[in-house]
């Protein structure tokens, strides 16, 4: 099941991973906060979140940047929690093959989970895939584009080659979403300054590992 989802994901986002050469910019959290709290700004957070929840496919790259990184300033931001609804999806995540009779239930649970954490990339990716399996290509495309947009915000934030240019993420689960979509197998994880470093099998890839900037997670504490 995981391989099928990955193949579907790669079709969605491979372009942002490889068309983006060396152009990246770390998020300016101070400016983002100022913009998302300005009611007259196109980046006013309630407006952006309403667009995302409506499956708006016209959200711009800069709006996605504000949506993704701006979530860290919302009272709902709890990077170490996992909802009961997401836990209900575990058996489907782990299933070798999904049954058509389960599609409606998966879609229902996934949508509830996304109400609890609208930026849950794992659930969003899974939901798009199930919509695709169910023949609802319109919804699959809409959810995929939102997933693509949020994922793009991560890829525009760094290159992952060292801690100073690490990909900025707002959830540990997003680190593994990145690794899974890029089909990189992690052999170990370590904390280096403000970064999580996920090392790769030596000699298997062109890089030894990937750095993720977890500044915002550290500000929230480690949730132990």
pTM: 0.89
Please give the Cα distance from 7 to 152 (Å, whole number): 18
Of residues 203 and 47, more confidence is placed in 47
The predicted structure's pLDDT at residue 164 = 96
Q: What is the mean pLDDT of residues 179-195?
A: 91
Q: Which residue has the tokens 């060292």?
A: 162
pLDDT-above-90 percentage for the chain: 73
Instruction: For residue range 134-174, list pLDDT tens digits in order.
Output: 999 999 999 999 998 999 999 999 999 999 999 999 999 99
Does residue 46 carry a pLDDT above 80? Answer: yes
- pLDDT at position 4 is 52
C-alpha atoms less than 13 angstroms from C-alpha of 77 in its C-beta half-sphere: 19
**CA-CA distance, 90 to 136, in Å (whole number)?**
23
The pLDDT value given to residue 181: 82
Produce one character per residue of 24-60: b if its CB has 16 or more CB atoms within 10 Å, e if not. eebbebeebbebbeeeeeebbbeebbebbeeeeeebe
pLDDT of 185 higher than 60: yes
Distances 100 to 97, 113, 127, 154 between C-alpha atoms, Å? 10, 20, 14, 33
So what's the pLDDT on residue 220?
84
Predicted confidence at residue 16, as pLDDT, reads: 46
Structure tokens at 186: 């992690």
The model's confidence at residue 22, banded by pLDDT at 50, 70 and 90, is: low
Q: Tokens 């000699």 map to which residue?
A: 203
């Amino acid at each position: 099941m995981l391989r099928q989802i990955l193949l579907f994901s790669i079709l969605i986002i491979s372009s942002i991973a490889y068309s983006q050469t060396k152009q990246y910019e770390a998020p300016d959290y101070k400016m983002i906060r100022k913009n998302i709290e300005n009611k007259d700004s196109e980046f006013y957070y309630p407006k952006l979140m309403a667009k995302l929840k409506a499956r708006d496919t016209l959200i711009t790259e800069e709006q996605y940047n504000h949506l993704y990184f701006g979530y860290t300033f919302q009272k709902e931001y709890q990077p170490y929690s996992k909802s009961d609804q997401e836990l209900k999806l575990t058996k489907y995540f782990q299933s070798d093959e999904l049954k058509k009779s389960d599609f409606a239930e998966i879609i229902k649970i996934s949508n509830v989970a996304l109400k609890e954490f609208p930026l849950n990339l794992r659930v969003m990716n899974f939901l798009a895939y199930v919509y695709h399996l169910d023949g609802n290509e319109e919804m699959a495309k809409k959810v995929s584009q939102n997933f693509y947009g949020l994922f793009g915000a991560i890829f525009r934030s760094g290159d992952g080659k060292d801690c100073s240019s690490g990909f900025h993420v707002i959830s540990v689960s997003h680190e593994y979403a990145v690794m899974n979509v890029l089909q990189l197998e992690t052999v170990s994880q370590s904390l280096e300054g403000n970064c999580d470093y996920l090392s790769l099998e030596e000699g298997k890839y062109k890089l030894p590992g990937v750095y993720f900037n977890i500044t915002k997670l550290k500000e929230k504490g480690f949730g132990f």
